[in-house]
Structure 1
Amino acid sequence: MRIRTFRPSDRTALQELATRAAQGSPTETLWGHPESEAAIYLEPYMDLEPESLFLAEADGELLGYLTGCVDTAAFPSEDARIAHAIRAHRLILRRRPAAFFARSALDAAGAALRRTPTAGEIHDPRWPAHLHINVAPEARGTGAADGLMQHWFERLRSVGSPGCHLQTLVENTRAVRFFERTGFTPHGPAALVPGMRYQGRRVHQRTMVRSC
């Protein structure tokens, strides 16, 4: 297994890996439109911070990736990226995305009435960096995920970052266990993710933090 940084020639293979690696997980899709979801959670990292994007490769095949950002405050916000994707891909005119946004609005309204916390980004100087990681099913247990995280931690130390955070789902228990094993601890409440469902049920955001 080889861990290396992203190259522009990896773009197509990485986009294909992102779709394949997420299959079957609680975070497989938001609204069933892979192109717009990649425009939010993958392409900005390729375009804006490729030096923090690490790939796990074996025999010339990409098997995992970690997208990172050393300063969340300087990166386009998730809300801004979603708004751009909605406009660029005309998601309001697409059936599945439109249904997701309608359900999301209802969920958010209900949560507000119940005073239930909802998912959102955090901005805390103790953990300014953030990451996303995904590994193909056949590469799980091979050390690919550990290798990606080790390179990410080295990157953070090289820039003098005090720490990083990530956001996963409470319902993604395998991911939560992995992050705990690599030194992350839960932070804040388990917040409702408006609109999102897994196996027909609502899901909840789990924010986790780690100091460098």
Structure 2
Amino acid sequence: MLVRLSAMPKHESALAALEEIFFLSTLRRDFASAEERAAFFRTWTGWYVERAPDDVWFALGDDGTVIGYLTGCKDSAGAVDLARTIPKYDVFADRFAAFPAHLHVNVRPGFRDHGIGRALVDRFAEDCRADGLPGLHLVTGVFARNVPFYQRAGFTAATQRGPLLFLGRRLG
């Protein structure tokens, strides 16, 4: 089942699960302090939870456990404060008109390769399409392990700039 953050009955436990999955999924493992770890998490998720809770989706297992999440933003160009938070956010700003929405998705280990990430992406894409948006995108590393997943999910418009790869999915 897919549920928006704003509709989750246990808001705090859902956010705790999001944080757990985030750290299980990130490549960064070492932090100098608990404060640095918390700041890293806030950099990559805080804005979405605070400013776009209707664009944060959870995948729930049969028992109601959070097994994946998607954080999204439907107006990348208009999220000026997000550009100040996320490093290199504006590297692909010239692509935002055609692909205005963006997303991040993570699934709990043990539940990957079961279509959960794809279901989250497709749900957010449908939401964006219903809002009349022409496309959505994400930015990843050129050699990141998630590139084939996103290509299979319809992200075919690619632009590389240095080590970064912009992948866009048309919604029209």
Superposition TM-score tier, normalisation by shorter sequence: 0.7 to 0.9
User: What amino acid sits opposite 1:21 in the alignment?
Assistant: S
Q: Does 1:148 align with 2:120?
A: yes
In the alignment, what sits opposite 1:196? none
Letter in 2 for 1:47: E
2:103 maps to which residue? 131
Gaps of 5+ in 1: 23-27, 84-118, 192-203
CA distance in 2, matches of 1:35, 1:177: 30
CA distance in 1, matches of 2:41, 2:153: 26
Read off the aligned partner of 1:134 and give its amino acid letter. N
State the Cα distance separating 1:176 from its structure 2 match: 0.6
Displacement of 1:190 in angstroms is: 4.0
What's the secondary structure of 1:157's corresponding residue? helix
| SS of 2:28 mapped into structure 1 | coil
Equivalences for 1:34-73 in 2 at 5 Å?
34-58=37-61, 59-73=63-77
Match of 1:163 in 2: 135
CA distance in 2, matches of 1:41, 1:129: 16
Matched, 1:3 2:5: no
Give TM-score, length-normalised by structure 2: 0.82
The answer to whether the 8 Å contact 1:190/1:206 transfers is yes
1:19–1:34 contact (8 Å) kept in structure 2: no
* Aligned counterparts of 1:160 and 1:186: Cα–Cα separation in 2: 19
| Conserved? CA contact 1:64–1:134, under 8 Å | yes
* 1:206 maps to amino acid: L
Alpha-carbon distance change, 186 to 18 in structure 1, aligned in 2, over 3 angstroms:
same
Q: Distance in 2 between matches of 1:130 and 1:35?
A: 23
- AA of the residue aligned to 2:58: L
- Offset, 1:21: 2.6
What is the CA–CA distance in structure 1 between the aligned matches of 2:29 and 2:164, rounded to whole Å?
Answer: 13
Q: What is the RMSD of the two structures over their aligned residues, measured on CA atoms?
A: 2.1
Report if aligned partners of 1:39, 1:81 keep a CA contact under 8 Å in 2.
Answer: no
Paired positions, count: 158
Of 24, 44, 55 in structure 2, the residue corresponding to residue 20 of structure 1 is 24
Shift of 1:13: 2.1
- Which residue identity lines up with residue 116 of structure 2 in the other structure? A
Matching residue of 2:147: 176
| Equivalent pair of 2:48/2:71 in contact (CA under 8 Å) | yes
Secondary structure of residue in 1 paired with 2:93: coil
Question: CA distance change for structure 1 residues 152 and 79 in 2, over 3 Å: closer, same or farther?
Answer: closer
CA distance in 2, matches of 1:144, 1:82: 26
Q: Which amino acid aligns with 2:2?
A: I
CA deviation after TM superposition for structure 1 residue 79, in Å: 4.5
Please tell me the residue identity of whatever aligns with 2:93.
Answer: I
